């Protein structure tokens, strides 16, 4: 939604539309299209070092074309020429006051900003880890603390509110540059630019079509990666409704301007932007729809030929309810099916199998309880010839498959009742 909320700002600029110019201008569109094409070309076909500078190269081309086509306004040129090469920044301090009427808008804005930061940090984690599985909350905690420190210090010094930049995160996806060394270099560069108004003004007077092309380029990554994170977990009807309704409500703010104008002043801030409305919606709906979802579920299995269908259907349904990772649910289903099949073939189980599956964000645990003999997991992998010649070799092969498909396991027998405990790291 952060990416989607940028679209109403990006596309008018891409088409050369401004507050003073309501009609599309051909030169603006040409500059925007060429700038975007250069960025995309450098990203898709450029070598690794070239991709690092994809946006910078596109912006340089856009600036050059804007100069040739006369898109720079006289005011922009005057602003750049009159700016000093060196000047110390002058903080502007305002008086302190408090308004109860702004409490709810402040809470909404803070919540949306915090969740946006969590989304940015999650995306950064996903960029840096090809085996990304879940959010590292320790890293997110540190990021939120740094974000809060930046916002508070900016307020104390009379500056604008600070927050993580989703577009810069998208830029990292495009060029693959995520090193902390770059962050330090950028921090030093920004500090220097604060004392060099003329150089900083080069970015301030960025041509409208160049700005639009840059936003379109980065927003495309933001939106797609957002959906990738959503679909990294299994979705059931509840989650589809939570996501779908929240996106629809968010889009209604931009697609139907003024539709929420008649709301009371105390709740109006929630409906003031698509990001705030979708954020509040997804939080409330997620809390409500989780009612009735148990973190532990049981299933009685009979060692018959159609047991595998029952297992896969049960695990798929629970995986979607819990929002588990598809590959973990599939692996667990295969292990249970393997055990049920081998127990049927060699008469390992004398009764029904009571399976209990429990889940949290980090663990998937399965307990298979039955009357019969415990499975022997001490055997070695049989050779292909042994499998063909000796039926018992299949039993050994199944035991090895099960043992190597789980992260931890234990088999306990007590009073004729066997409990096979299977653990999967989630």
**For residue 22, pLDDT beyond 70:** no
Q: Are 65 and 246 in contact (CB under 8 A)?
A: no
Task: Express each pLDDT in 320-352 by its tens digit.
Answer: 989 888 999 999 999 999 998 888 888 888 888
**For residue 366, pLDDT beyond 90:** yes
The three-class DSSP label of residue 302 is: coil
From residue 382, how far is each of 343, 348, 391, 393, 396 by CA, in Å? 18, 20, 11, 6, 7
**Alpha-carbon gap, residue 55 to 219, rounded angstroms:** 13
**For residue 307, pLDDT beyond 80:** no
Q: Which residues make beta-bridge pairs with 355?
A: 299, 368
Task: Express each pLDDT in 369-410 by its tens digit.
Answer: 999 888 888 877 877 877 777 777 788 888 889 999 999 999
Buried b (16+ CB within 10 A) or exposed e, 86-95: eeeeeeeeee
Domain-wise residue ranges, the chain: 2-233, 234-291, 296-425
| Higher-pLDDT residue of 260, 382 | 260
Q: State which H helix or E strand residue 299 sits in.
A: strand 296-301
Selection from 366, 345, 368, 379 nearest residue 418 by Cα: 368
296-425 architecture in CATH?
2-Layer Sandwich (3.30)
Q: Report percent pLDDT > 90 for the chain.
A: 27
**What pLDDT is recorded for position 415?**
85
Q: Report percent pLDDT > 70 for the chain.
A: 97
pLDDT band at 305 (very low <50, low <70, confident <90, very high): low
Selection from 302, 334, 298, 300 nearest residue 318 by Cα: 298
Task: Express each pLDDT in 63-75 by its tens digit.
Answer: 999 999 888 888 8
Residue reference for tokens 């030929």: 305
pLDDT band at 172 (very low <50, low <70, confident <90, very high): confident
**Alpha-carbon gap, residue 372 to 316, rounded angstroms:** 28
The torsion angles phi and psi of 416, rounded to 5 degrees, stand at 80, 0
**Alpha-carbon gap, residue 355 to 344, rounded angstroms:** 16
Tokens of 379: 């055997």
Q: Chain-wide mean pLDDT for the chain?
A: 86
**What pLDDT is recorded for position 181?**
86
Lowest mean pLDDT among 97-101, 135-139, 371-375: 97-101
**For residue 36, pLDDT beyond 90:** yes
**Alpha-carbon gap, residue 122 to 224, rounded angstroms:** 14
**For residue 266, pLDDT beyond 80:** no
**What pLDDT is recorded for position 114?**
87
Output the pTM of the full model: 0.74
Buried b (16+ CB within 10 A) or exposed e, 294-308: eeebebebebeeebb
**What pLDDT is recorded for position 93?**
67
Helices marked H in 129-266: 137-156, 166-175, 180-193, 197-204, 208-230, 237-255
The three-class DSSP label of residue 420 is: strand
The three-class DSSP label of residue 70 is: coil
Estimate to the nearest angstrom the gap between the alpha carbon of 159 and the chain centroid: 29
The torsion angles phi and psi of 354, rounded to 5 degrees, stand at -90, 110
Selection from 189, 133, 187 nearest residue 364 by Cα: 133
- CA R_g for the chain: 29
**Alpha-carbon gap, residue 393 to 373, rounded angstroms:** 17
pLDDT band at 145 (very low <50, low <70, confident <90, very high): very high
| Terminal-to-terminal C-alpha distance of the chain | 27
**For residue 304, pLDDT beyond 70:** no
DSSP string, 148-169: HHHHHHHHHTT-------HHHH
């Amino acid at each position: 939604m952060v990416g989607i909320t940028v679209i109403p700002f990006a596309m008018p600029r891409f088409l050369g539309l401004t507050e003073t110019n309501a009609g599309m201008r051909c030169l603006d569109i040409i500059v925007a299209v060429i700038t975007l094409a250069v960025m995309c070309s450098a990203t898709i076909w450029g070598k690794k070092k070239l991709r690092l500078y994809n946006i910078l190269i596109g912006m340089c081309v856009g600036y050059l074309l804007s100069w040739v086509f006369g898109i720079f306004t006289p005011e922009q040129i005057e602003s750049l020429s009159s700016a000093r090469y060196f000047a110390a920044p002058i903080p502007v301090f305002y008086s302190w006051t408090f308004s109860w009427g702004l409490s709810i808008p402040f809470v909404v804005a803070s919540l949306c900003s915090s969740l946006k930061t969590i989304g940015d940090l999650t995306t950064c984690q996903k960029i840096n880890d090809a085996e990304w599985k879940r959010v590292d909350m320790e890293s997110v905690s540190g990021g939120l603390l740094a974000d809060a420190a930046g916002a508070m210090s900016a307020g104390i010094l009379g500056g604008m509110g600070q927050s993580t930049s989703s577009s810069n995160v998208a830029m990292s996806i495009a060029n693959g540059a995520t090193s902390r060394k770059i962050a330090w270099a950028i921090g030093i560069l920004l500090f220097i630019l604060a004392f060099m108004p003329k150089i900083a003004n080069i970015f301030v007077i960025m041509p409208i079509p160049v700005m639009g092309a840059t936003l379109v380029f980065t927003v495309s990554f933001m939106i797609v990666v957002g959906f990738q994170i959503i679909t990294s977990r299994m979705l059931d009807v509840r989650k589809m409704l939570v996501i779908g309704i929240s996106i629809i409500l968010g889009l209604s703010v931009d697609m139907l301007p003024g539709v929420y104008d008649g709301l009371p002043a105390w709740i109006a801030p929630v409906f003031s932007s698509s990001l705030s409305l979708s954020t509040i919606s997804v939080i409330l709906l997620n809390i409500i729809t989780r009612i009735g979802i148990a973190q532990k579920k049981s299933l009685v299995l009979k060692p018959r030929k159609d047991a595998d269908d029952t297992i896969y259907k049960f695990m798929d349904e629970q995986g979607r309810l819990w929002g588990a990772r598809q590959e973990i649910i599939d692996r667990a289903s295969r292990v249970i099916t393997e055990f049920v099949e081998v127990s049927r073939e060699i008469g390992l189980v004398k009764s029904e199998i009571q399976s209990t599956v429990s889940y949290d964000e980090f663990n998937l645990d399965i307990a298979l309880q039955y009357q019969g003999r415990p499975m022997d997991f001490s055997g070695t992998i049989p050779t292909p010839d042994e499998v063909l010649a000796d039926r018992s070799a299949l039993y050994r092969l199944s035991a090895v498959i099960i043992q190597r498909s789980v992260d931890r396991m234990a088999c306990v027998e007590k009073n004729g009742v066997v409990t096979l405990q299977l653990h999967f790291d989630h």
